A and B are shown apart, each in its own frame.
Chain A
Amino acid sequence: MKTLLSVDQLVTVFGHGDDTLRVVDGISFHVAAGETYALLGESGCGKSMTALSLMRLLPDGGRIAAGAVQLEGQDVLALPERDMRRVRGGGMAMIFQEPMLALNPVIKVGTQIAEALALHQQFAGQAAWGAARELLDSVGVPDAARRLESYPFELSGGLRQRVMIAMALAGKPRLLIADEPTTALDVTIQAQVLDVLRRLRAEQQMGMLLITHDLGVVAENADRVGVMYAGELVEEGARDAFFAAPKHPYSRMLFEALPRPGDGGRLTTIPGQVPGMDQTLHGCRFAPRCPYAIARCRSESPVWQELNGQRVRCHLAADLPARSERGLTAHAKSSQTNAPLLQVEGLKVHFPVRRGFFQRTVGHVRAVDDVSLSIQAGRTLALVGESGCGKTTVGKALLRLIEPTAGTVRLGGETIDARNAATLRRQAQMVFQDPFSSLNPRMRVGDILLEGMDALGVGVARDRRSAMTQLLRQVGLPDDAGARYPHAFSGGQRQRIAIARALAVSPRLVICDEPTSALDVSVQAQILNLLKDLQDSLGLAYLFITHNLAVVDYLAHDVAVMYLGRIVEQGSAAAVLRAPRHPYTQALVSAVPRIESTIGHDMIRLAGDQPSPLNPPQGCHFHPRCSHASEACRQTYPDPTRLENGHWVRCHWVAGQP
């Protein structure tokens, strides 16, 4: 295949003099026409900066210090800015992670696309509008003619990303750079968008540079893979070879850190964190975290070597022990059954919608509509669903951070209402999603941990300091952490602090709201291990709110799947994830990109987006997207259909099956 893009020894730096940060440090790779090259790495490894360097769109302060970039033989870095503008959008186009922010909020979608068409294809007026409509059609935007007149905020996340793709295609680029194109999207929407990208690449014979942190996305989309670590490329190879046998210790550990279905044991974690760009590094950059590292690794930077067609930068690549194949071990999760710790019946949270002259309440957003669940002590219930389904609201309503509209909550046999809120707070606590907004930047870690004990009067005041030290040890933080401020800690460490804070009042139930979704895979493994250890040692019950099915599979005993404010399927984790019955759960499970070979894995693709909870569809909320929908589905909301072992589903289609 003809080489489309070749990058040679690219170095990108920020700042000057002593403060220079080398964010991209001598990267070389090439992409052929019609090929997808995936650049894989954790946050801060320099993969996005590589992409922006190719486009010469580095943020202020950044510059390309060395190297060469050739697109179809043309030296991109040597072009004057005038000609570079023709390359941007025309030669190579880029789509970004967050489509809401990446589209201009006050310009119509059609105009934004037409702008690119006018620039690169000299279309104007009506012709441009028509061409824009065709582009939207080609990326699968329904009702394209009308959508041209929309503003970005009127579109859903998936549609926005399709618009973004259409805009990138307007200049008929030979190379498409996709920077985490689906990270901000729900898993069913991610599947749709990735399908579009795959189809377009095949149709137009484009080269594609796919930048992602998600091994699953790589497995399903890439032809070749390059792994980045701390500004350097450490391994490169064809997809199948790479997934069969990753050669670099870092790549291998990434695989092992990934929670996998049915895996009851501990996850392999990579100790420490990705080094900061400001650290001077000698030798192999991964050496400080590498369990195999020898003295030579710390002094001498490894050169590329080729092993069975894969290229790798590791002194020891040839001598590493064979990878221990993690088989599907039996479920090691403890599964004793006790009386339920938490019992929720008919929980509803409705937000009034006011309109008109007198601000009358004209309707309700049914964020949570009749949710019932129960958790036993020492067990984990995962509440799964896509964004906007109301799962976080359930968590907050349980803690009365949002006042529920209806429903009863029984905790440890006691019915919770506004009067005995203190009981609730002693017994149930929460860990939040974003470790950066969940810790007050103006408070020392010690004060953060003491806050709950002080407020609820836990223990004797003079013992609290030692209790704090105990807590810090429990979550694996150094003793002196208490005197420092949160900004001194990394994301993973902050999440440990947040967990310690919740544990400070010795609760029996911890509500974890997406506690690992803001973290890198290797750090996520550390947190998941910690949560599991704490459950084993303290007998905690978890309500684990997440959209990440792999994590659910790893951690949860039971699963409840939510769609538009209601639970549509509930049962043991094995039953729901392995043999889902509700069409929505089936689609959800099938949409998750898998690392394992995808042959024989028939994909179920959902059409359209999740409707607004303000105006949910009549009957079964899911019927407009369901391929099994019948007349009954359009009329009435289905009652639960009980299957074996407490597994139940709300679906007419399932109920109709023998």
Chain B
Amino acid sequence: MSVMPVVLWTDALIFALLACVLVLVWLIRRQEHLRAPWRVVAQRPMAMGAALVLSAFVAIGLLDSLHFRERLPDSPADAPQYSIDVLSVFDILVGDLRTQQEKTYSAPLAMQLYAKEFVQREGKTVREYPRLKFGGAHLQQEAERVPDITRRSLIGFAQGLALSLLVFGLLAAWQARCSKVSFGDWLAAWGEGRLDWPGRTVVFFVTLLLVLGSVLLHLAPAYHVFGTDKVGQDVLYISLKSIRTGLVIGTLTTLVTLPLAIGLGIAAGYFRGWIDDVIQYVYTVLNSIPGVLLIAAAVLIVQVYIESNPELFDTAARRADIRLLALCLIMGVTSWTGLARLLRGESLKLRTLDYVEAARAFGVSHARIISRHIFPNVFHLVLIAIVLDFSGLVLAEAVLSYVGVGVDPSMHSWGNMINGSRLELAREPVVWWQLGAAFAFMFTLVLAANLFADGVRDAFDPRQGIRR
């Protein structure tokens, strides 16, 4: 099957960001004063557990960022035509999850639809809960459902456990070799928490993730684990697809923020005088406009632009993508002020320090003073800001989507899931699974991010006096 790779704007930026992070990691490894605080982070059980959960999310997000279009089967070889659907590697990996679409709502792990319908049975028209096309389709009758689910879960659980034991064994053998102790000694050290990294927590979280993944792997092909939504799509699939949206918003927005905040914040604090006045004026103006309204106004404008230039976007995915990118840009432009203000204050303090005076006494240029003396000494604040802002931005997406100025309605996002299902709570019986899944995924990501951010902040800014 031949495919045409599609690089969406956000894909390009995500991978650019990934490259930046890798370069940064390489740089950090060489600088003792940067490496030391990370070692402190690595020793905190909570931060490391959170980091593992985050990396699972990031892995899914990255897989979901490799996009392509499939070739239509009946198109000629010399002038191939490609499907209008933009898929990702992640879609291929989850297999039928994407395509197993039911008619409408169905509860988690159900084998019947949520609503009664008239169906033909043995020539008669009966009003009953129709069977799902895919969910539990292999079962003969309702009574088999619970035992089947239990059996699949147990198999999944056992396989996950076995896999994690294997992983743990390899890890232990490798670690024991690295630190030149016997296997048993290493195990004892691990069990008593005497390692220089939180071994027990890491192993616990790896096991948890593997077991969870394995159970899902066994259940998902046969059931809709989190039910289906109004148009019958698998909620688990939508929730997983939403991860990428959340990550994009949480990271790309900061990417937009950083140059503005760092450049203007340091310039204002270092040069003072009229430069400071102008920058302060700009950020007071931007700050004074209620954020949601500014975002709303800008999003409306982007919408008008997209609608008046339909020829620029060949697929719906591209259209939704450009709106997502615009949202990141806009949120970035409205949210750089906080960090800029912080950096301004810090630069004001740093510029009076003796080592900056000493550099000035040598006639070192401003550019060099900023790059060698000011920036490296505020870098930890930038880092803290990145991790602290992430969770806020993920939460903000939900609210903005609710207001109607968030991501494109066709895009999978937790905000859209919540928005689309909040009125269904009034139904009898309640349709709760879509809301529940969205909140659960969002909560897990945000909690992990917050715990990780806490660890990073404690390590980099022990005084904690700088920001909430």
A touches B in complex, CB < 8 A:
yes
User: Which chain A residues have a beta carbon within 8 Å of chain B's beta carbons?
Assistant: 396, 399, 401, 421-422, 425, 429-430, 432-434, 437-443, 447, 451-452, 455-456, 485, 487, 498, 501-502, 505
Nearest-Cβ distance from residue B460 to partner chain A, whole angstroms: 13
Q: Are B357 and A396 in contact (CB under 8 A)?
A: yes
B291 contacts A by Cβ under 8 Å: no
Contacts of A501 in B (CB 8 A): 358
A432-B354, A455-B368 are known contacts. Are A441 and B361 too (CB-CB below 8 A)? no
Q: Contact: A485 with B377, CB < 8 Å? A: no
User: Do B373 and A440 touch (CB < 8 A)?
Assistant: yes
What residues of chain B lie closer than 8 Å to A502, measured between beta carbons? 358
Closest 6 CB pairs of A and B: A438-B354, A442-B376, A432-B354, A452-B362, A455-B364, A455-B362
Is B196 located at the chain interface by the 8 A CB criterion? no
Among residues of B, the one whose C-beta sits closest to the C-beta of A487 is: B33
**A residues in contact with B355, CB < 8 Å:** 437-440
Q: Is B95 an interface residue (CB 8 A)?
A: no
User: B360: CB under 8 A from chain A?
Assistant: yes
Taking the closest CB of chain B, its distance from the CB of A458, in whole angstroms, is 10
CB distance from B374 to the nearest CB of A (A): 10
Indicate if the CB atoms of A441 and B358 lie closer than 8 Å.
Answer: no
Cα distance, A456 to B363, chains bound together (Å):
7
On chain B, the residues within 8 Å of A432 by CB distance are 354, 357-358
Of the candidates B33, B353, B359, the one whose C-beta lies within 8 Å of that of A451 is B359
- Interchain nearest-CB distance for B378 vs A (Å): 10
**Interchain CA distance A487-B376 in the complex, whole Å:** 15
Closest chain A residue, CB of each to CB of B360: A401
User: Contact at A430–B32, with CB atoms within 8 Å?
Assistant: no
Distance in angstroms between the alpha carbons of A485 and B358 in the assembled complex: 17
> Is B372 part of the contact surface with A, judged by Cβ < 8 Å?
yes
Return the contact of A422 from the options B353, B359, B363, B368 (Cβ within 8 A). Answer: B363
CA distance A430 to B98 in the complex (A): 70
Are the CB atoms of B357 and A401 closer together than 8 Å?
Answer: yes
Contact between chains at B357 and A430 (CB < 8 Å): yes
**B357 proximity list for chain A (CB < 8 A):** 396, 401, 430, 432
Instruction: State A308–B365 Cα separation when bound (angstroms).
Output: 64
B361 touches A425 (CB 8 A): yes
Within 8 A of A (CB), among B343-389: 353-355, 357-365, 368, 372-373, 376-377
Q: Which residue, of A396, A437, A442, A443, has the highest number of chain B Cβ atoms within 10 A?
A: A442
User: Contact: B363 with A440, CB < 8 Å?
Assistant: no
Residues on B with C-beta less than 8 A from A456 are 362-363
Shortest CB-to-CB span from A447 to chain B, Å, is: 8
How many residue pairs between the two chains, A and B, have CB atoms under 8 Å in the bound complex?
A: 63
Among A434, A440, A441, A452, chain B packs the most CB atoms within 10 A around the CB of A440
Nearest CB on A from B25, distance (A):
18
CA distance A401 to B357 in the complex (A): 7
| Closest chain B CB from A445 CB (angstroms) | 12
Query: Given the interface contacts A401-B357, A434-B354, does A440 sit within 8 Å of B372 by beta carbon?
Result: yes
How far, in Å, is B139 (CB) from chain A's closest CB?
A: 59
Also in contact, A399 and B361, with CB within 8 A (given A437-B353, A437-B355, A443-B372): yes
| Pair B354/A425 contact, Cβ less than 8 Å | no
14 A-B pairs with CB atoms under 8 Å apart are A401-B360, A425-B361, A430-B357, A434-B354, A438-B353, A438-B355, A439-B355, A440-B372, A440-B377, A452-B364, A455-B364, A485-B32, A487-B33, A505-B362
Known contacts A433-B354, A452-B364; 19 further A-B pairs (Cβ under 8 A): A401-B361, A422-B363, A425-B361, A429-B362, A430-B357, A437-B353, A438-B358, A439-B355, A440-B355, A440-B372, A440-B373, A441-B33, A442-B33, A442-B377, A455-B359, A455-B365, A485-B32, A485-B33, A505-B362
Residue numbers in A under 8 Å from B372 (CB-CB): 440, 443, 447, 451
> In the assembly, what is the distance between CA of A269 and CA of B216, in Å?
72
Residue of B with least CB distance to A498: B358
Contact of B361 among A429, A440, A447 (CB under 8 A): A429
Identify the interface centre among B33, B355, B359, B365: most chain A CB within 10 Å of its CB. B355
Taking CB atoms, residues of chain A closer than 8 Å to B358 are 430, 432, 438, 498, 501-502
| Bound CA span A424–B360, Å | 12
Q: Which B residues between 1 and 43 are near A, CB-CB below 8 angstroms?
A: 32-33
A486 to B, closest residue via Cβ: B355
Contacts of B33 in A (CB 8 A): 441-442, 485, 487
Chain B residue at minimum C-beta to C-beta distance from A434: B354
* A422 to B353 CA separation, bound complex (whole angstroms): 22
Q: Which residues of B contact A455 (CB under 8 A)?
A: 359, 362-365, 368
Q: How does the 8 Å CB contact mask read for B243-257 relative to A, with 1 for contact and 0 for none?
A: 000000000000000
State A425–B360 Cα separation when bound (angstroms): 9
How many whole Å from B377's CB to the nearest CB in chain A?
6
A439 CB to nearest B CB, Å: 6
The 0/1 profile, CB within 8 Å of A marked 1, for residues 324-356 of chain B is 000000000000000000000000000001110
Determine the chain B residues whose CB is within 8 A of the CB of A434 once the complex forms: 354
**Across the interface, which residues of B come within 8 angstroms of A442, CB to CB?**
33, 376-377
> How far does the alpha carbon of A425 sit from the alpha carbon of B364 in the complex, in Å?
10
Nearest chain B CB to A455 CB, angstrom units: 4
> In the complex, how many angstroms separate the beta carbon of B104 from the nearest chain A beta carbon?
60
Pairwise interchain contact A437-B354, C-beta atoms closer than 8 A: yes
Alpha-carbon separation in the docked complex, A92 to B357 (Å)? 45
Using CB atoms, name the residue of chain A closest to B32: A485
Nearest neighbor of B356 in chain A, beta-carbon distance:
A440
CB distance from B200 to the nearest CB of A (A): 19
Residue numbers in B under 8 Å from A443 (CB-CB): 372-373, 376
| Complex Cα–Cα for A442 and B357 (A) | 16
- Most chain B beta carbons < 10 A, residue from A438, A451, A501, A502: A451
Tell me the complex Cα distance, A421–B376, Å.
Answer: 27
In the assembled complex, which residues on chain B have CB atoms less than 8 Å from the CB atom of A440?
A: 355, 372-373, 376-377
CA distance A421 to B360 in the complex (A): 11
Cα of A502 to Cα of B355 in the assembled complex, Å: 12
